[in-house]
Amino acid sequence: MDKNNRLQSNPMNKGSHSLGRLFLQLRRLERQPQNFGNAGSITPSEIHTIEGIGYEGAILMNELATHLGVTKGAVSQLIVRLEAKQLVMRSSYPHDSRAILISLTEKGKEAYKAHEEMHIQFYDQLRSELSQEEIEIFEKCIEKLNGFLQK
Amino acid sequence: MDKNNRLQSNPMNKGSHSLGRLFLQLRRLERQPQNFGNAGSITPSEIHTIEGIGYEGAILMNELATHLGVTKGAVSQLIVRLEAKQLVMRSSYPHDSRAILISLTEKGKEAYKAHEEMHIQFYDQLRSELSQEEIEIFEKCIEKLNGFLQK
DNA sequence: TAATTATAGTTTAGCATCTAAACTTATTGT
DNA sequence: ACAATAAGTTTAGATGCTAAACTATAATTA
């Protein structure tokens, strides 16, 4: 295509463009089911849910919805599927009989750990190509981004 | 919940955790339709498509699919919708009568520009809270990430 | 040249993910 | 006790994607 025809060729905006490509990559990743442990194929939404549960140990549907940034209805549906796959289990919450505590089964914990291991390896790979100082600045930037997007 | 029960409490992994939260934020963002220009409500997939077209000026279905990292079928469906919204138009490609060139209508260009403007403002906001050096390191890290995820 | 193979794009069926809203059941506040 | 609120479930419908079958054109090869 004719590159002179581009609507945008602002050189100041190169960083924004890299970020844009990263978004597309992440969108692609977030569509790809994967195997974690021997739990079979797990979709991105499922693994995020497992991550949220595993991080807390046990969590209410409510809290999980807030953590994931989705409605309680969405979480309810996910938990049905994860329970069917025997990755999570429900138990009652002593202080409020309406509430339901979700926790990981042994199989779920395996998947959780395999996923964490993957994260750690990924991060190690990044660390191996950057200095300690660069990593710290990167993390600071990520925190800033998190702050902006919070709203 | 009992924080001592956490499956993961590795302090070395804090950066990975921030990155995880960023992913969740982005997932949430990427579900939210927005208004750009006076083109009405535009979904994330639609705006990514418009961005890909606008950046090149005119592009083949084929190339667009590669750029977005989706199948040609997905692009075909998106273009149908964007054409119905009068944001893009099809024209024939001189060298190959099978191929179809997609470009933006005036309304599409408006949406494109409004979206770019948003990106630039977002990036300016980030820049205002970081030093020039920090920005450069951040961009380097983004490039690294892009490299990793390419595979 | 005629037949085969490859390529560009479209269409369709089906899956995954989510929301909004209606619903059930339990809790809280007056 | 009663009304309002809160936790979770269910359902219908939107979105966004893939895989695979399909049409039409182009390129290759026998």
Q: Across the interface, which of B69, B134, B145 has its CB nearest the CB of A24?
A: B69
Structure tokens at B27: 């997932």
Return phi, psi of residue B83, to 5°: -70, -40
Question: Tens digit of pLDDT per residue, chain B (151 long)?
Answer: 444 455 544 545 677 788 899 999 999 999 999 999 888 899 999 999 999 999 999 999 999 999 999 999 999 999 999 999 999 999 999 999 999 999 999 999 999 999 999 999 988 999 999 999 999 999 999 999 999 887 7
Question: What DSSP character marks residue A57?
Answer: S
> For residue B76, what are the domain limits?
34-150
In a domain? residue A87? yes
In a domain? residue B15? no
In a domain? residue A133? yes
In a domain? residue B18? no
Q: Structural domain tally of chain B?
A: 1
User: With a 7 Å cutoff on the CB, does B141 touch strand C?
Assistant: no
In a domain? residue A137? yes
User: With a 7 Å cutoff on the CB, does A25 touch strand D?
Assistant: no
What's the CATH number where B53 sits? 1.10.10.10
Chain centroid to CA A38: how far? 20
Whether chain B has a CB inside 8 Å of the CB on A98: the answer is no
In a domain? residue B24? no
In a domain? residue B123? yes
- The predicted model scores a pTM of 0.89
A63-86 pLDDT tens trace: 999 999 999 999 999 999 999 999
Query: Distance of CA B93 to CAs B51, B89, B98, B102, Å?
Result: 20, 13, 8, 9
In a domain? residue B2? no
Smallest CA–C1' separation from A59, nucleotide: D7
Smallest CA–C1' separation from A71, nucleotide: C19
A12-69 pLDDT tens trace: 567 778 889 999 999 999 999 999 988 889 999 999 999 999 999 999 999 999 999 9
Bases of chain D with protein Cβ within 7 A: 6-12, 15-21, 24-27
Question: What DSSP character marks residue B97?
Answer: T
Number of neighbours of residue A50 by Cβ within 10 angstroms: 23
Q: How many Å lie between the alpha carbon of A142 and the closest alpha carbon of chain B?
A: 7
Q: What is the pLDDT of residue A102?
A: 98
